[in-house]
Each structure stands twice: as C-alpha cells, then as structure tokens.
Structure 1
Amino acid sequence: MRWVNATDGRRNQDREVQPHILELRIHGIRNTPPAEMLCTSPESIKPVRGDVYGNFWILKEPTVSRTAQDALPESVPPGVRREAYSWGTLNRKDATGTWIFGRLGQVLTQIAWTLLLPFGFCNVAYWARKLPVPEGSLDPAAKARKGGWMHGEGAASIRVFALGLTLFFAIGLAAVSLDLVGIQCFRDARQVCSQLPGFLDLLADWTRGQRLAFLSLVPLSAVLLLYFVSRRSRVVYEENVYAKELNGADLDPDEGSLGSPNAPILSTAGFWRHALLSSNTERLHLAASFSFLAGLLAWDALNGEVPVCSTAPSASPACFPLFTVWLPWAGVAIAAAAILLLLVIAAQVVIDSEACPDISRKHPEKEKGRDRPTGTVAGVLLAGAILLFVLGIVNSAGASGSDPGRPFVAGLVTTVLVAVLLVLSLSALGWRRGVRNVYSLPLLGVMAASLLLVGWGDVVRLPDAVLWTAAAVSAALFLVLLLRRKGDGQRYEGWRGCGPGVMMLLAVGTAMFLSSLLVVGTASYLNWPLYEGVGSGLWRTAVDRAALVGQEIVIPAPYLEFGVILTAIVGAALAAVVLVVAGHLVRAPQALTTPEPPPPVFRPELADYGAGRTIRVRRPFNGALEKSVVFRRRQAALAQRAEPFIAILAGLLALGVTAALTISTTGSRDGGSGHLAPWLPTFIEDSAEALAIFMLASVGIAILGSIIAGIFVPADRPAALLWDLICFLPRAGHPFGPPCYADRVVPEITDRVQEWLSGEVPENEAPLGEKDVAKRQVVLSAHSLGAVLAIAVILNIDEKWRTSAKIGLLTYGTQVRPYFGRFFPELLGPCALGNRHCRGPSLISADPWYKQVKDDFDATAKDATGNDATAKDATAKDATAKDATGKDATGKDATGNEAARKDAAHSALPPASGVLTLAKVLTPASPNGANFIIIAGLMSNEVTTPEPAWINLWRRTDFLGFPANSYAMNPVDRGADELERHTYMLQVATHGGYPYTLAYRSRFEELVQRM
C-alpha cells in the first residue's frame, strides 16, 4: 500500500483510488466512543447502519496525508474505507435524560449488573470446563471425543448449580420478607416494628399464615423480574440474528462450519446464532422457585402444629414435621409434593431439557433427529408448580399455629442449600485435573454432612470426634486426588486447571455476600430504634445490648456468621495485597522486557532482557520522563497479578463459607440463630451483629464507591476485565445471567465483512467502493476484548472468504494469550489460534511474566538453532549449538535439567497439518502451495516462509495489553509508543490511544503488504 502526496489536512474529494480495503475498527470493554475510535470529533462522523445497541460509523469527509509517518491520526490511506463498530450499549446500557438523572440511572444500572455477578460466574465456569478439542490439535494431552465438542465433564453439575443459585436468590429475599418482616415484626397482636411503613400496619390483624402467604409474593416477584429481564435481553441480543440467519436451523455440535472435525470450537456452525439456554430452562427455574416457596410455606404451617416448635430453634429435631404423626394431611402432601417436584425439575434440567444439548449420552446416534417434547414438559412442570404454590398459599392462610412468633426455617434451609452449592464448587476444582465427580462428590458430601452435624451427636448417635475425623479424612482424600499431577500442560491453564471450581466458588461467595448484605442490613435497619440510646445535648447513654435479648430482630445464623467471618476474609486478602505491593515497591527497579519498537517510536530507550535473562541491577534514571515510564510499567505489572489474587480470594471464600455454615448449625443446635461457636472469645460473640454489619457495610460501600467513581471519573480499570470474561461467551450456565453481547456482535460484524467482500453493500453506504470484488480486502482493527470478537468473526466467516489474501487482523491492547487462552484453552488457546502457550503470572516476582519471557526467548533461540519448525535436515537437528543462555539445542542445559527445556519446547509445539487454526487462516500460501501453520517464533534464515496477516501491538505500560504470541521477536507482536503525542500535555500511554500512535499507522501499512 502507498500513501499519496497531498497537503496535510486537505480534503480529498476526488480520490483516484477507489476504496478496496475495509478497515473496520472494533472497541473493547472500555466502550471507546466512535469518534475516538476514528481519531476525530463527534461532529465529524455519521452512522451508516445499526440501532441504539450496535451501529457502524464512518468519517463524513476523510482526509489523506503524504506518508505514514507524517499522517494525521484521522487521515485515511488511499484505497481504504474506515469504519468503526460500536457495541458498548449491548454490554452496559447507558441511562438517558438530564445529567443528574442520567448519572443516577447509570449507578442503578451498574448496581443491577453487580447483582447478576453470581449468575455470570456460573456461565464462565461452564465454558472453563475441559472441552474436547479437534483431533490432532496443538495440545497432545487433549483427546477429542465422539459426539461433538460440547460433551465434557461437569455440564450437568453446573446446570444443577445454576438451579441452586436461583433458589438461593429466592431464599435470601424470603428471609427478609417472611422471617424478618412477616414474623419477627409482628410478634404480638398489636405490636409492629416502628421502622415499617404505616400501610403495613393492616397486616397486624392477619394471622401468621396469612402474612406469610401474602409476603411470599415478594421473592416470587423478584424471580419473575429476573425472568422478564432475561426474556427482554433475548429479544435485544438474539432476535434479529434469529430472524435473519437461523431460519429454524439447529446447532449441530458434531460438525464445524467447514464440515471438518478439525475445525476450532468457535467455528462450529451456529455457535453464535443459537441459544444454548432456551426459554424452557427459564421456565424450569421459575417452576423450581414456585415449588421452593410452596415447600417453605407448607413446612412452616406444619411446624405450627408441633407445640414444642414454639420455643425450640428451627433446626431442632422436634421441628422436622415430616417425621411427626397426626399432622394435617394437606400440609404433608404439599410439602412432600414440593420436594418431589424440585427433584423432578432438577432431573429435567440435567437430562431432558433442550437447555442441555451438551450432556453426553450412551447412544447419541439413536437420539439424533428425535423430537423430544421438552417445551411441553417444562410447561407442565411450571403449571404444576404454580398450582402447588397456590395450594401452599391457601394452606398457609388457613393454618392456625400455636405461636405466631416461633422461629422460621430460613436459616436451616439456607445452610443446607449453600452446603450443596459449596460441594459442587469444590468438586469442579478437579474437572480439568482428571478428578471425576464419581470420586469427588461422595468425599465432599461426607465432609459437608459431617461438618453440618457437629454438635448434633445425640441426634445422629455419633460423637463429635468421629464427625470431625470423617470430615478431615474426606477433605484430605479429596486434596490428594486434586493435587496429583496430570501433566505439565496444567501450568498453561488458568489456576493450574482449577478454573471451573474457582469461578463457582466466586459465585457462591458473591451470592453469600449479597444475600448477607441484604438480610443483615434489613435487620439492622429494623433494629435501629433499639440502638439509638437515651440522652440529650452532648451526651447520651450507651445501649446495653445484652438487655435487648428477646427484643431484637434476630438475624438468621448463616448470614450473620458469614458477615463476621468476612472480617477475617477481608483482613487476609488485604494482607496479601499489602505484602505484594510492599515487596514490589521496595525492590530495585527491574528492567521489564519491551517489544521491539518500529521506527520512529516515541519512547525512551530502556534496558531490556538479554538472551532471555533479566537485568536485575540498580541504575540511575535518565530523567523524569524515563522515571514516569518505568513507574507506569511497574504499575501495570502489579495490576497483572489478578489471577493469583483471585485464587487466594476463592480459597478464602471457600474456607469462610465452610466455617460460617459449621458455626451456624452449631449455634442453632445450642439455642437459636445468631450464636457463634463456644470456643470463640466472648466479646466477639457479644459483638457479632455489630461486627457483621460493619464489615458488610464497609465492603458494600467500597463496591458502590467504585461504581460511582467509574461513572463520574472515567478511567481505565482492570475490573473491566471481569465483564470481558462474564459476558463474552453465550449464556450456557444460568438462564438469568448477564446476556452475551457477542451473540449479536459476532454475526453482525461477520455479515458486514461478507457483504463487503461479496460487493453486496448498498450503494449509498459505499459509493466509492471498488467494483471488482476480487480486489476487495478487510482489515479488522480490534482493541482489547474487540480482538477476541474479531478472532471469532474470522473463525465464523464463510470458507470461501476465509483466505489469507482477503482478511487481515490488527490487534492492540489485547489479553488473548495470557487470559482468554489460559482460562478457555479449547476456545481461544493454542489449539485454536496456533500461537504459543503461556504460563500464569507470578504473585511475588518483580516481573510477573518473567518465567514466560525466559521460555519465549529460549524457545526462539532453539527455533533458530535446531527446532523442527525450521525445516532443517536431520543433521542440523542433531547439532548441539549453544545459545546465549548456555543451553544447548538438544534440550539439556549445563546442569542437565531436561524437564525445563521440554516445558519450553512444549510452548512451541506445532499443530497437525489438518487442523484449522487462526494462524493458518491468516497466513498466505507459500510459493510451493503449503501453508505456514505455526507462528511460534522466528524461522531460520535458510527457509523462506510467509508471515501471517496478523500484527499485534502492545506495550509494558498497558495493564491489559500483552503479546499475542511471544515476548521474543516473532512475526506477530510489535511494540507501540509508550508516550501519547495526541494529548495536550505529554503523558505515558496505558490501555488506550493505540490508533493515534505512529506504530499503528506503520504496522497497518505492513499488514496490508503482507496481505
């Protein structure tokens, strides 16, 4: 490509060269405005197609410049049509209206998104499972299974886990509406909590059963709200795609879009155009919620028929009415039917629902083409659950209990439900490590049951010592199974192969926190008049909390105990952060590796890695500018330790939730909820509620503050990566989770690319387009998460357009290799992209990626001296050539450490010749007709191989920008400016501003030349 001679900034109305290259820019999670993507002002752009959620923009009057080096950021090379695709409102819909209402609406929107976090983590866990990859893939340890890519360990468990999250959402609201308000705020006939609104006083004349029947509509309404929000998102995100492309076609998990078993998973036909979770799954979750609430009402009504339950805790053996004779047959029937229906719904979710096309079956070929009436079954179950709920309301309203103030069952049900979720989460830690559920679930089930029964020895006729021993032995056996090594490949997977379990533990911990914040916060609000004290003027009399026993609103034990234990969780997490930050700051400044800059790149020259070794010496800075760059690099390196920090947080949450459940059941056995175990200090037990309120409120305020700060003070935040992971892949775990914007973005961009290449673009959109469609090409220019979307587009495009001469990829500020490739190896790892494997970051090293940098340099040195990829003959392969690090090309270093060299070689393992990867798609054919498949490193000078039409820009000052292939010299990764020239004051560049740099313009020209 050449640049024309013209005066800088002059409008070129009569361009001689017709646009034949479509440069389509795609933003990331930062939601860069279209004008900023096009490097101009909002007045200089216009939309050409789309709606409020997704649209394409172009420059009204493009400009040209003399050369790439002197070109203005907004100037367009001749022969290029530049467009920007904006999809930000699909991820986080902006509020409208005046400034104050718009900002307030944004805050409420972000809070609502935060409430969906547990469901989003569930979806991430689903895709983090070990999915079978194409035969002959890059990873030799992965074996493809017959029956399709979606047959993997843990799919059924995650669907049951998702159902449990929905029920936990309902029980949290039920604890507030039924227990705190419906029961405890109406203990006596005419006494009502003073904090309640006056219109609720009419409930004082109702019976306990009538109040509970009425207030049960509160949690039910919340679940229905989730249902309607989910339905609406399906219309916004998926309706247009269905109408245009699907035409009734179903997803075939056994065949890729090319009809080849060696195609990547993202190339599967209909992957982005078919919902893995249909409306049937939503109906099943609704049915479970109806049945669950009906069971709670029936259980409470039956407890009223047992006089001892008036004074005994809800967890007392005497208050298990299903085992008591002479109870009303209607209540027993409703309670039993609710339990039975819940089991049937769980089985339907796992076995027969259309929402589970990924559950492996013994004879899938016999079921192919069979039309199973899943919609009818889901409808029948929902109708039965609604009828059961109505019967439960009628039965509860007509019940006459012995004591209207007797304890409610919310605490016990919450304990059991969270224990089930915790067991499923811990079992998921071993799915990728070869620990099957048939081994892990029994061990974890024994551990959970033993811990929950501690203190109940007289009931189960087992001493507490036996229960503790059983729990310890079961936990130890599970750890032995989990920690056994299954191969070196786990180091290239997120959290050493424990990704699904980590995500599920985060879901449980987040759900427990949100529910505890709601329940404890509501109880604190209702108790507030008791804590105000008495007095006037400067002094008041402190309240004796011990004297308030019997008057306070009692908080259900699991929520209170978790609030107390949250103190230890937050303290341990902060201690880890402080230690890492302190160690990072007191060490000598380390010269972090930087990419090779293209001339001219405006950045100071700093010391670099030498032959794969890190320079660890103190040296004076060459001025304030260099000091600022180094400081930003170290800040970015500190922010890139999110993975180990998340592992620590997940472990702390697992321990905290386990301790909270154990203490809550022990306290319930000892005489009611809200009591810590007897071995804890008395002052902690006496101040438990105040401590729980303080910690929950502190964390809640911190989260709210970060939301408000992100809206009123826009900035690049690493927390945005959370939504990258949660919302990118299709909803396949929880039907009420955050919608997948890629379900619409990928098909829309794919259609736009194919329209351009085929020449079907309407004339009013491309009046200057090249008429000869054979000359048309596309460059997808993608930032951050946009790079993942662009990769998905390239892998989804029709085979006739998927040629190296037609499509190029320019990425910048992306996390494809270290995050997406590690967290979802089968989707975006080396087996799909053809790049190198990547280790995880270190928590304590000055450079968190030091080991990976060394591996990359070692592997590159080996490629240059004797790797098979260099196509050298056998004589050259066997030669022992020492590299600069002292290691020979045969794999052994001076100390004989062969294993380390094998690990480095594994990171450059090429795929089989028949496997389709992104590298193969984007690499032009060589003169002899063969394709250059691997992009792992530099090739030998003796062999001429074409370079892939993929260039990735990155810089060390970007906390979310990494190499896409290697830290060493390679055909893909190139350096970007570390100083921003387009700003009024010179500042260090971080995650944004790549299109403004000289590196972007020069590498765009290089990419077009490769194509």
Structure 2
Amino acid sequence: MSEGTPSHRGGLAPHDIVELRVHGVSGARPERVLGRAHVQQIAGDSSGGFHRPVSGRQPGDTDPDGVALEAYRWGDLPSGTVARTLSLVLLLPFMLSNVAVWMRPVGRGSGSGVTVLCRLLALNLTALFVLSIAGVALDSLAWRCLGVARCPAPFAGMVELEGRQVGQRLAVLALLPVAAVVLLRLLGARRRRPVAHPLWAVEPLVGRLRAIHVATALAVLDLVLLEARSSGGGRTTASIVLLALTGAVLLVCVGLLAVPGLLDGAATARAATWTAETVRVLAYGISVAAFAAVALDERGWPPSPGLPGYGPVVSWAMLGQMALLVVLSGLVLWHYARGDRRSALPTGLGAAVVAAIAVGLAGAFSSDLVYQTGNLLGGYERDGGPPLPYQWTVLAFFLHVSAGVLLCGALTLTSRAPRWRAAAAITAGDFPSPPPGAAEQLKQVTRAIARARFTERLAMLSVAYAALAAIGLTTGVLGLFGLEPDRLGRLLGLPAGSVGFGLAVGSYLTASVVLALLLGGILAYRTAWFRRHVGILWDLGTFWPRAAHPFAPPSYADRAVPELVDRITQLAERHAGVLLCGHSHGSALLALAVLRLPPEVRQRVALLTYGSPLGRLYARLFPAYLNQGVLREVGERIGWRWLNLWRDTDPVGGWIFAAHRPGDSSPDPSDPAMRVDRRLRDPRDVLPRPGERRPPPLRGHQPGENDPEFRAAVRELVGRLRDPGRC
C-alpha cells in the first residue's frame, strides 16, 4: 500500500499517537468523520482509502488531545456505480442466502445442518431463476406468442422464428436463459483490488460452488426442453438417455452440497473440485445434445395452452424450495427451544428468517417477471393465465407478507406497555429530579428509548416469521396436485372473488416490491440520506463472503480488513501507539483487524467502539463467528485497552459485555471485560443550557466524535497507550 504524498511517509512527528477513525454503514465523507473542512487522501483509491486533515488550512486542525487524526473511508466498497448498485438489488436473494449461512447456530449437528440446508436453498434459487427466464423465453415467447403468430411489437418482427418448427424456436430461444446465467456469472465476478492476505480464504470454495450452480442451471434448462418434447409425445431413446444424464447431473450437484464438509474440508477439497468441474463439463455436453435433439426433431407437437411439462417442473422446484425452508425453520426453532429463550435475538433464528426473506424475494422476482412478460405478450389472455405454480407463488407471497405485517403490528402493540415501563424506569434513573418544564422533553426521551428497545422484542417475531414457511409449503403441495387457487376458495367456502382479489393484490405487490428495490438501489447511490437508512442491508450483506451462492456480490471485507491491518501496522511502526475508533459496523471491521494484527503491533493498539452492534446484535445473529468468546479474545489481544460507548436511545448499538445501567448489580471487578462498556446518558440534559433556546438533542445512533464523553474516552485510552502500566 503506497501513500499519496511524500510529506506523510515519515508520519506526523509532533504526535506520538494516531487516532484512526472508521465510519459505519452511513458511508460518511472523510470531512465529516474527521470534523475538518479540508482533508486529503494519503492512501487507497476512489472506492476506499485513508484520509488526514490538511495541516494549517484552518484553526483547530491540530487536535486538542495531541493525537494525529486519520480516517478510513470504505463506504463505496459495497456499492460503487449506479450499475453496480442496481446489480446488488437484482442479486439480493442470492446475497441473503449467503448471509443466512453465516447465521448458523452453535451446537453439535445444528451448524452443519443449517449450512447444508442454506446451500441447497441457494442452489434452488439458481434453478428457479433459470426456470423464470425459461418461462419468459420458452413458454411465453416461443410457445404462446410465436406459436400463434400474434406477437406484439417488437417481437412481431421475429419472422425467422415464426416460420420455424416448434423445436427450432425452443432451441434458439433457450439461449436466453443461458445468456442470463452468463450475466449472473459476470455480475458476481467483480474483481476488487488484490490484497496480500485476504480476510476470507473462500475463493476455492466459490469456484466449486460456481461449477455446481452452472451445471445445475444448464441441467434445469435441459430438463425443461426434454420434458416439453417428452410431454408432447416425442419420447425417444435419445431423449430418455439425455433425461437420465440430466437427472444424474442434478443428483451429483445436490450430493456435493448435501454431504456436510465435503466442499469445505481440506482432505476432500481436491476431489470435490475435480467432481464439480467434471459435472460442469458434462452439463455443457448434455446441453448441446439436448438443444440439438429438440431442434432437429421434426415431428409435430400436440396443441397445449402452455409449454408441455413446464408447469410440473416449476411445481417440483418450488415444492423442494418450501420443503427445505420448512426443514431449516424446524431445525433452528428446535435449537431455539433448547437454548436461552430470554435473549433479545436468540442465536440461530436469523438463519431461518433471512432464508425465508430470500425465498420470498426470489419468488416475487420470478413470478413478477413471468406475470408481466406474459401480460405484455398477450398470451395469458388467450390461454387462461400464467403457469399454475406462479399463481400459487403470488398468492403465497401475498399471504406471507400479510401475515408478517399483522404479526409485526401485533408485536408492536403487545410490547408497547412493557417497553414504555422499562424506558420510563431508565429515564427516571437518569433524571431523578427533573426540573419544572421538562415534562415534554422527558416524554420524548422515554419514547426514543422505548422505540430503541423494540430490538429486545424481536425474538417472538423471528419465531413466528420462521413458522410462516408452512404457508409456502402448503401452496406448493396444492400447486403440485394441479389445484387452482379459485377452486380452493370455492372448496373453503370463501366469498366469490376473494382468491382472485388476493392474486391481483399479490401481483401488484410483487411488482411494487421489485420497483421499490430498484428505486431504492438508485436512491441509495445518489442520496446520502437514503443510503444511511438502507445502507445497512447492502453493507452487512456484502460483508460476508460467498459461502452459499457463488453469484452473489463478493465480500468487501476481503479488502477492507487487510487494508486496515496493513495501515495499523505501518502506523504502529512510526508512532508510539494507534487508537482505533470504530462506529457502528466500523467496529466490526476493527475487531476483525485486531484479531489479525501481529503480537508486536497489538501491544501499541487501543480500541474505542461506539454505537457498536457487536454485542447486542452480531454476537446473537452470527453466534458461530462473532460470539462472546471471540469478543473476549479481541480484548485480550490488546490488553483490554478497550472502551465501548453506548446509549439507551440507540436502536442498533449497545453494550458488549455489561449494560451498567443505574441499579444494575455490580459486575465482577476481577473481570476486565466488565470495564469495557460505558453507558452515556442521552440526552445530556432535558432543559436548554444557558444562552441556548433548545435542550441538547437526542444522539441515538449518531457517532459523536466531538462529544465531551467521546473525547474523555480518547484521553483515557491515549493515556493507557502512553503509560502501559496504567489501568
């Protein structure tokens, strides 16, 4: 890593301590992080780099605490250009399936089981993606539209295909799903600037997963083509052999993922790589043969409203998806029942919840694509509606979202009274003798604390949302048996038109979700305010590497953490010490960096975290990787030169080891971890200060590097670095 100006290569001689600040998911500008109007980049590039104030440009450039200020800006690493941001939206289900893997619970058998189920779900997402593109290209366009020569513009000009036989049309337009898979491969293969020692050594695993997913995608497409020919009365010896080979490819791909440790184990890595690459090459050959067999088959095709065999293939794929999701939900709920159910976010539940969201979004994307394309081409008006599995998917999405909204509303209402009681007790402890005229301000403070404590009530919502996977399984079974949604409504005695209303609302809802995500991607790139609110989704999602889906965005932590390690090492060699200051998700980057520092560097490092989700959220959401044991190791490696500042009004950050609220029992004084957390009263006061018209504002999740409490913590840690014997 090279620095940009020679004047900084020797360090800042007047200052013996460097305060290195790392922002959170808001992606703040370095001027804001450093609190200086004039800064310059000294290392890195336009996506991420290190910045320092420009000396002598304005009063106050010299820090009053006698430390050299520096900031690491990584906010553009997860996103970048508009095209990249939009690609994140399109890859969102794949990204969430990766996050779910890293949320696996800790326990014998449960962790590996969750990993296997999440990887199988990710493979199913790839299959459904190919099936949705095949539904557009083969069912809507090649069969329904070109088959009756009534395609609207611009498809009406495809006279070459209109005059061809059905098999030739299918074979040619089957190249569209192939192109879509290639596009996914390119979107997920974005190369970042190489670093010497990446954080996640997963590239060999990603290569194996990529080979498996490509082979599965091609096999699913071959299955659609061969089933269409066989269901249309064209079953031959060649088609039977190709179907058998296609089934074998799918079984091998599933088997590679279903055996725990087969892809990850060092002893089996070479054999797994060879098998995955071999099955991908075999899938290439089968696809060429299947395309040729369908295109050269000149026998007639019987009339059918939709592509023969397409509906059953989609039904089985969706049923398999829902079955996997139900098993995953059952596994994590079983683990939850065995563990401590008093926790705010019991460990392991996140895997099922995030996987359910990924499946729901994938279903929304695929069904909306098939629905809207069919309506655009006019095929559904003639042939009685979209394929039955997509009708059930739309209805299931509508029911799932409706039930989720009702559950969230019910939880909000039922938890309001206890949250307000707890918040009122905290406010009373902070302001035991409120001055006259502070009633309204105290009410606002209590309201902010009550809202922040909603995080403590997410356990039941997680349990209920995981249980909602049964809705998808039920609709998948009904779709497999060919039962139409309207007929089910009549059998259940529902009012006439109620099911149709649900389908219509579900269709508009899925379209709205897709449109909202696309607009959100654009606004997240162009609008800093909007990015601060949705950035956590992208930044947290792309933080974790691709351990389940190879087409998801790559992890930016592979660059950010090694860059931080290199820079901290350089600064420690030139200065007496380095004070690491991490806000929000920046504290996670710094914690991982501390774990990778050499022993001689760790002796000159201190850590200050604020608004940190490490203990409140990450230790519970990712219990196998960021648990209390790992956090204690972070403290031990730097000699417990660690302070964590948190506020009760913060809905994201919190304490890491102990809350230290007024009235809490005294912690064990011999445990250094109990001295890490420092609770900050928020606001500082409930009445305006002399000469001011308004009381101090609520800080919540705001960083506050210039707050008196923050500067006091800096001075304390700087003192520990300068005097290693100081407690």
* TM superposition score normalised by structure 2: 0.84
Q: CA 1:972/1:819 → structure 2, altered by over 3 Å: closer, same or farther?
A: same
- After superposition, what is the alpha-carbon deviation per residue over 1:321-343, rounded to whole angstroms, capped at 9, x for unaligned? xxxxxx32121121111111221
Query: Is 1:124 paired with 2:99?
Result: yes
Give the match's secondary structure for 1:734: coil
3-state SS of paired residue (1:964) = coil
CA distance in 1, matches of 2:57, 2:714: 17
From 339, 349, 358, the counterpart of 2:247: 339
Q: Deviations over 1:235-278 (max 9, x none)?
A: 21xx612xx34xxxxxxxxxxxxxxxxxxxxxxxx753553623
Work out which of the residue numbers 488, 492, 510 in structure 2 matches 1:696.
510
Match of 1:204 among 139, 154, 162: 162
The match for 1:577 is 408
Name the amino acid aligned to 1:25: R
**Residue 523 (structure 1) aligned with residue 523 (structure 2):** no
**Aligned in 2, Cα 1:331/1:826: closer, same or farther, shift over 3 Å?**
closer
| 2:133 is the counterpart of 1:173 | yes
The one-letter code of the counterpart of 1:60 is V
User: 1:58 Cα deviation (Å)?
Assistant: 0.7
Match of residue 609 from structure 2: 811
* Contact 2:96/2:358 (8 A) holds in 1: yes
What is the rounded CA distance, in whole Å, between the counterparts of 2:330 and 2:504 in structure 1?
38
Query: What SS does the corresponding residue of 1:24 show, helix, strand or coil?
Result: strand
* C-alpha spacing 1:712/1:59, structure 2 compared with 1 (3 Å): closer
User: Post-superposition shift, 1:994?
Assistant: 1.5
Instruction: Indicate conservation of the 8 Å contact 2:336/2:349, yes or no.
Output: no
Q: Tell me which residue corresponds to 1:427.
A: 327
Distance 1:227 1:126 in 2: 21
* Alignment partner, residue 330 of structure 1: 238
Letter in 2 for 1:523: G
1:824 to 591, 597, 622: 622
Instruction: Output the CA distance in 1 between the equivalents of 2:596 and 2:321.
Output: 36
**Of the two, which has the highest radius of gyration?**
1
2:474 is the alignment partner of 1:499: no
User: One-letter code of the match for 1:679?
Assistant: L
CA distance in structure 2 between the aligned counterparts of 1:519 and 1:343, rounded to whole angstroms = 27
1:602 alignment partner in structure 2: none
1:32 corresponding residue in structure 2? 28
Aligned to 1:382: 280
Q: Deviations over 1:413-463 (max 9, x none)?
A: 122112222222333335567xxxxxxxxxxxxxxxxxxxxxxxxxxxxxx
Are positions 1:303 and 2:231 aligned together? yes
Corresponding residue number in structure 1 for 2:545: 730
Q: Which residue of 1 aligns with 2:74?
A: 87
* Match status 1:48 vs 2:35: no
| Match for residue 739 of structure 1 among 526, 532, 554 | 554
1:733 aligned counterpart, secondary structure: coil
Change (3 A) 1:50 1:618: closer
Following superposition, the deviation at residue 483 of structure 1 comes to 7.6
Inter-CA distance 920–687: structure 2 relative to 1 (3 Å threshold):
closer
Report the Cα offset of residue 717 of structure 1: 5.6
Contact residue 747 and residue 793 of structure 1 kept, 8 A:
yes
Pick aligned residue for 2:388 from 557, 574, 588: 557
Instruction: Give the aligned residue type for 2:359.
Output: V
Q: Is the 8 A contact 1:47 1:56 kept in 2?
A: yes
Following the alignment from structure 1 to structure 2, what is the Cα–Cα distance between the partners of residues 577 and 428?
22
Task: Work out whether 1:922 is the aligned partner of 2:615.
Answer: no
> Which shifted more, 46-55 or 156-165?
156-165
Report the CA distance shift for 1:159/1:53 in structure 2 as closer, same or farther (over 3 A). same
2:718 alignment counterpart: 1008
Partner-residue secondary structure (3-state), 2:158? helix
Equivalent in 476, 479, 491 of residue 679 of structure 1: 491
2:450 corresponding residue in structure 1? 634
Higher relative contact order (CA 8 A, sep 6+): 2
Measured after TM superposition, the shift of residue 373 of structure 1 is 5.6
**Superposition deviation, residue 724 in structure 1:** 4.7
CA deviations 1:43-70 (Å, max 9, x no partner) are: x1111111222211111116999xxxxx
Asked if the contact 1:594–1:975 (Cα under 8 Å) also holds between the matched residues in 2, the reply is: no
Post-superposition CA distance 1:286-324 (Å, at most 9, x none): 122122211211111122226xxxxxxxxxxxxxxxxxx
1:212-611 matched pairs, under 5 angstroms: 212-232=170-190, 235-236=191-192, 240-241=194-195, 244-245=196-197, 271-275=199-203, 277-305=205-233, 327-349=235-257, 356-358=263-265, 367=267, 372=270, 374-399=272-297, 400-408=299-307, 409-429=309-329, 431=331, 482=334, 485-488=337-340, 491-492=342-343, 494-495=345-346, 497-527=348-378, 551-552=382-383, 554-582=385-413, 590=421, 592=423, 606-608=427-429
Assess, with a 3 A threshold, how the Cα gap between structure 1 residues 183 and 196 changes in structure 2: closer, same or farther.
Answer: farther
Contact 2:219 2:246 in 1 (8 A): yes
Equivalent residue, structure 1, for 2:666: none
Output the CA distance in 2 between the equivalents of 1:338 and 1:593: 64
Amino acid at match of 2:597: I
Cα shift at 1:783: 0.8
Give the CA RMSD over aligned residues. Answer: 3.7
Residue number in structure 1 paired with 2:652:
960
Q: 1:690-736: CA deviations, max 9, x gaps?
A: 34323323444554565566554715766544335422222211111
For the pair 1:159 / 2:119, whether they are aligned, the reply is: yes
Q: Is the 8 A contact 2:95 2:553 kept in 1?
A: yes
Please give the alpha-carbon distance, in whole angstroms, between the structure 2 residues aligned to 1:26 and 1:675. Answer: 58
Tell me which amino acid in the other structure corresponds to 1:160. L
Change (3 A) 1:277 1:28: farther
- In 2, Cα distance between equivalents of 1:63 and 1:965: 42
Superimposed CA distance per residue, residues 853-911 of structure 1 (whole angstroms, 9 cap, x where no aligned partner) = xxxxxxxxxxxxxxxxxxxxxxxxxxxxxxxxxxxxxxxxxxxxxxxxxxxxxxxxxxx
- Aligned-pair CA distance for 1:750: 0.6
Give yes or no for contact 1:555–1:673 (8 Å, CA) kept in 2: no
What is residue 594 of structure 2 aligned with on the other side? 794
Change (3 A) 1:330 1:674: farther
Per-residue deviation at 1:641?
Answer: 4.9
Report the residue type matching 2:243 in the other structure: A
Q: What is the TM-score when the length of structure 1 is the normalising length?
A: 0.62
- Over the matched positions of the two proteins, sequence identity in percent amounts to 26
Which residue of structure 1 lines up, in the alignment, with residue 7 of structure 2? Answer: none
Unaligned runs of 5+ in 1: 1-14, 66-71, 96-104, 132-141, 246-269, 307-326, 359-363, 434-481, 531-547, 596-605, 760-769, 771-775, 835-916, 924-947
- In the comparison of the two structures, how many residue pairs are matched? 687
Task: Report if the CA contact (8 A) 2:344-2:458 is conserved.
Answer: no
User: Which runs of 5 or more residues in structure 2 are unaligned?
Assistant: 1-10, 662-673, 722-727
Q: Is the 8 A contact 2:395 2:502 kept in 1?
A: yes
Gap change, CA 1:176 and 1:820, over 3 Å in 2: same
Contact 2:583-2:612 at 8 Å conserved across structures: yes
CA-CA distance at 1:989 after TM superposition? 2.4
Cα distance, 1:79–1:276 mapped onto 2, change above 3 Å: farther
C-alpha distance in 2, partners of 1:485/1:690?
38
What displacement does 1:619 show? 12
Amino acid at match of 1:402: W
Q: 2:17·2:67 contact (CA, 8 Å) conserved in 1?
A: yes
Is residue 2:699 matched to residue 1:989? Answer: yes
Q: 1 CA distance for matches of 2:504 and 2:260? A: 48
Alpha-carbon contact 1:419-1:661 (below 8 Å) kept: yes
- Of the three residues 649, 653, 665, the one matched with 2:465 is 649
Matched, 1:20 2:7: no
Task: Quote the Cα distance in structure 2 between the aligned partners of 1:644 and 1:787.
Answer: 28
1:522 CA displacement? 2.2
